[in-house]
Copies of this chain bind each other. A is one copy, B any other.
């Protein structure tokens, strides 16, 4: 049983965090707590660290991304679908402050059901489609791919396309 006041606090924190991040992506946890009218302790009780809060705030964005996979696969060949999806993902990582870090595999010794898991599943779907068509190496690992996207959003935006092309090339099956 979740106490009513606790649930309400949680909602207030989320709302405050959304507002704060919208105004300034560099908002501190303390500022968010203050804005929500709770102490830092309460903030951290609900979201054990910054990454957790960032993931919670961007939940919808992540659902949009993971939800777009089927459509992309229906409209494009697997590798192209993967390329388009990844560009979308990287754009989100850049736009939403801290999202790239929060989704990094390093942040998830214990995997987050709500966010990290679905993203890995989305990548798995995309890779599997390519494997079925024989255009993506059968040993390609979703976790490795997500790890590599880290290089994409950290790089200068104008480098994104070429680095991604390189990664996709490495994932592709060589013509014989």
| Residue in B106, B148, B162, B169 whose beta carbon sits within 8 Å of that of A163 in the complex | B148
| Residue in B154, B162, B166, B175 whose beta carbon sits within 8 Å of that of A167 in the complex | B166
Against B, the Cβ 8 Å flags (1 = close, 0 = not) of A162-176 are 110111111100110
The residues of B that contact A105 with a CB separation of less than 8 Å are 154-155
Of chain B, the residue at the smallest CB distance from A152 is B147
Q: List 16 A-B contacts (CB under 8 A).
A: A140-B166, A144-B159, A144-B162, A144-B163, A147-B151, A147-B155, A148-B151, A148-B163, A148-B166, A150-B151, A150-B154, A151-B151, A167-B170, A169-B169, A170-B171, A174-B175
Q: Which residues of A contact B (CB under 8 A)?
A: 104-106, 139-141, 143-144, 147-148, 150-151, 154-155, 159, 162-163, 165-171, 174-175
